[in-house]
Amino acid sequence: MAPTSPSGSPPPKRTLWDIYKGIAPRHRVILGMGLMAFSMVGIWASEKLEEAYPPPIDNRVARINHSDMPQVIVLKEGTDTSQGVPQLLSNISACLAICDTIRTTLGPRGMDKLIVDSQGRVTISNDGATIMKLLDVVQPAARTLVDIARAQDAEVGDGTTSVVLLAGELLKEVKDYVDEGVSSQTIIKGFRRAADLAINHIKEIAVDTDRSDKAKFRELLEKCAATSMNSKLIGSQKEFFTKMVVDAVMRLDQDELNEDMIGIKKIPGGAMQDSILVDGVAFKKSFSYAGFEQQPKSFDSPKIVCLNVELELKAEKDNAEVRVDKVSEYQAIVDAEWKIIFDKLASIVATGANVVLSRLPIGDLATQYFADRNIFCAGRVSKDDLDRVCEATGCRVQSTTTDLTAKHLGVCERFEECQIGGQRFNVFKGCPGAKTCTIILRGGAEQFIDEVERSLHDSIMVVRRAVKNQTVVAGGGAIEMEVSRYLRETARQIEGKQQLIITAVAKALEVIPRQLCENAGFDTTDFITQLRARHAQDPERYRWYGVDIEEEAVTDLFAKFVWEPALVKTNAIASAIEAACLILSVDETVTSQKSQDPMAGGQPMPGRGRGMPMGGR
């Protein structure tokens, strides 16, 4: 039973105030201090939790003072933004993933990559620029590596894989510094200082070539070409292709060295050794009309005219209308059309030309007309081939047959149409001012010939740069180890964080010899240790020591004629460091939502042939 008062009614309820008044004064002070301490601990814990687990922030809305202010829309709905150190680390990780893709293609023992595009086309290659171009890279920062590979290929031709690996290794070495809070601008400053030191050191130790002795200079060019071919598919036939590449470059205008004047034609079938170099111009036989077989197929000392004129009767345009009152007027129109084309043909024949080439079609009437007069003609010749014919024979492309004279013609020692493999080619030989040539490649599979073409392009660019710059360095990782040693020694004399950054660049340069050893199956740790010891022991004597893949040893690669133009290395280091600086300078990525495809819903868009939509009536 509940307790009751003497009067029999239940006792009154006690409030907190009643309880507080019943506490002794000194106990009240202790209780107040305890409650105050408890509230302070609660406030401190709340602040710490908010710092550790910040509340989610809507990137599209800016709220002011957590009050009931109206929402301010900053970016379009669906826009994705990411910023800060996590975004920077994400960009670095994406670049490292790209580097891992092509890492195994470096060097003479590098592997090939088989890439199938969205159209089902198959490409087999170990060329860094080709692989990077075919990869469908989505990550925005990683596309920077694709750009530097293309730039290296266009500027130098070789070192495309090296520049991507070097950029990735630079980012890998400074990733921990970024994670620890080192400012990106500090790292960028160190990178650029290291780039200046490295490039200047390469220019100081590069070996100048002597062009006075043509035999020695040609030997140097052949060594540079052979070095670029070591890592390619044609490495087993480098002696055959080295002479072909050097001959092709030396036939160009030595002041301009325009690589476009070297034509490369591909004919499936045969072996690589069946490839030939034509001292002049050769191009595939174009489409021909009736009467072509009656034309002569070879000339000695022919006169050549190049045109940009259409030599055939033109059809009337759609809905064309000609109103005549008499039959004689219609006949006059027809006769005028025939007279125009016959006047063109007669003016060409009057020049004494034996070979007529045109970028535009040469119809059956003109073909038979030239055949009756023992003149060879070819229409629809590509612009590149026609330009090279002009360069070789000395003629110029004419856009009209009016006032066409003998001074507009070109000459060569011999012209012939010959059979090469399963195709017929028009060949111009013995051109007097020949500053062009044509390489005709043979091989089994189409993908194989395509890779040979890419390999020859790289070698041609390397030889071209060696002719222009005339300074060479040793390959095989020798120059990278020498520059790495130089940067380590220089970094010891620098104070502050820059010392760490320059040391990181020095370590990143070792990725080239390390990856060469790894791809060849060597003991990477042993080889890198030997290279460091040799270069530190006597920099003058062991300056050109690198990884000898053939002998599986650390040797003097300059004495073994493993040479590369110095421009390949300086351009690779400069491009890699600039790419790394660009990626490190990005602290926020804003990705807009892709626009909706109007055809995604399956509803046809109103247009021609579909009538007006019902809602528009």
Rama region for 421: left / alpha / beta (φ>0; ψ in -120 to 50; rest): left
Give the H or E element holding residue 176. helix 160-179
Classify residue 416 as exposed, middle or buried by CB count within 10 Å of its CB (0-12, 13-18, 19+): middle
Determine the pLDDT at residue 53.
60
CB 446 within 8 A of CB 268: yes
Determine the pLDDT at residue 165.
92
Determine the pLDDT at residue 500.
92
Which residue shows structure tokens 């202790």? 30
Q: Mapping DSSP to helix (H, G, I), strand (E, B) and coil, where does residue 471 land?
A: strand
> CA–CA separation, 451 vs 234, rounded Å?
9
- Write out the DSSP string of 511-530: HHHHHHHHHHT--HHHHHHH
Classify residue 2 as exposed, middle or buried by CB count within 10 Å of its CB (0-12, 13-18, 19+): exposed
**CA distances for 167 relative to 186, 228, 375, 572, 578, angstroms:** 17, 21, 58, 9, 9
> CA–CA separation, 55 vs 23, rounded Å?
43
CB 109 within 8 A of CB 549: yes
Q: What angle do CA 461, 466, 471 make, to 5 degrees?
A: 145
> CA–CA separation, 439 vs 263, rounded Å?
6
CB 133 within 8 A of CB 150: yes
| Residue type present at position 410 | G
Which residue shows structure tokens 């007069």? 373
CB 463 within 8 A of CB 251: no
Q: Mapping DSSP to helix (H, G, I), strand (E, B) and coil, where does residue 152 land?
A: helix
Order across the sheet with 563-565: list the strands.
207-208, 471-474, 563-565
CB 437 within 8 A of CB 259: no
| Residue type present at position 56 | P
Determine the pLDDT at residue 209.
78
> CA–CA separation, 13 vs 342, rounded Å?
127
Q: Identify the bridge partners of residue 590 per DSSP, sorted by sequence position.
A: 81
Nearest to 553 by CA among 512, 517, 507: 517
> CA–CA separation, 162 vs 60, rounded Å?
42
> CA–CA separation, 146 vs 97, rounded Å?
13
What would the two tokens of residue 572 be? Answer: 């690779």
> CA–CA separation, 375 vs 483, rounded Å?
63
Determine the pLDDT at residue 617.
37
Determine the pLDDT at residue 431.
79
Q: What angle do CA 604, 608, 612 make, to 5 degrees?
A: 70
Instruction: Note the pLDDT tens digit of each residue in 40-77.
Output: 777 777 776 666 666 554 444 444 444 454 555 555 55
Q: Identify the bridge partners of residue 418 per DSSP, sorted by sequence position.
A: 425
3-state secondary structure 68-95: CCCCEECCCCCCEEEECHHHHHHHHHHH
**CA distances for 374 relative to 28, 235, 380, 418, 584, angstroms:** 127, 47, 20, 18, 69
> CA–CA separation, 519 vs 475, rounded Å?
16
> CA–CA separation, 244 vs 439, rounded Å?
8
**First-to-last CA distance in the chain?**
88
CB 232 within 8 A of CB 126: yes
| Rounded percentage of the chain residues whose pLDDT exceeds 70 | 83
Length in residues, the chain: 617
Instruction: Note the pLDDT tens digit of each residue in 357-374.
Output: 999 888 888 888 899 989
- Write out the DSSP string of 273-324: GG-EEESEEEEE-----TTGGGS--EEES-EEEEE---BSPPPPPTT-----
- Where in the sequence numbering do the catalytic residues fall? 127, 160-161, 458
Contacts of 184 (CB under 8 A, 6+ apart): 88, 178, 584, 585, 587
> CA–CA separation, 453 vs 470, rounded Å?
25
- Write out the DSSP string of 528-539: HHHHHHHHHH-T
Rg from Cα positions in the chain: 38
Show the low-confidence residues of the chain (pLDDT under 70).
Answer: 1-22, 24-27, 29, 48-84, 314-320, 433-434, 590-617
Determine the pLDDT at residue 611.
45
What would the two tokens of residue 458 be? Answer: 């790289």
Rama region for 554: left / alpha / beta (φ>0; ψ in -120 to 50; rest): beta
What would the two tokens of residue 68 be? Answer: 């009931």
Determine the pLDDT at residue 614.
45
> CA–CA separation, 388 vs 182, rounded Å?
56
Determine the pLDDT at residue 81.
56
- pTM attached to this predicted model: 0.70
**CA distances for 89 relative to 94, 507, 585, angstroms:** 9, 20, 12
